[in-house]
Amino acid sequence: MVTFSCQATAASASPNFTATWRPDVDPHVVLVLLAGALGVYDPGDDDTPPDPAAVAAHVPLLVVDLLAVTGVPFAGCLEAAFAEVARTERYDD
């Protein structure tokens, strides 16, 4: 199961997430990533779901921002994420 600190990481994103050095950052894509991480995003309800390339470009930026804001070590969150994937694969029908 994902540890509380890693879940809190997704929930405590900086409300001022801006990347002036990356003017192509799309707040909608960041919102989709956060909602997806929290399990509340349904692409069927999104009139303009982001394309996979946009998602792939925004994930590293969001991860870096979340780690900087929370101070949570990346290795611990990555380990927890892989453990959750393994758990889901084991118990999900």
pLDDT tens readout for residues 36-58: 989 999 999 999 999 999 999 99
pLDDT grade, residue 59 (50/70/90)? Answer: very high
Per-residue pLDDT reduced to its tens digit, 8-25: 444 455 555 555 667 888
Per-residue pLDDT reduced to its tens digit, 66-76: 888 888 888 98
Q: Which residues contact 10 (CB under 8 A, 6 or more apart)?
A: 34, 37, 38, 66
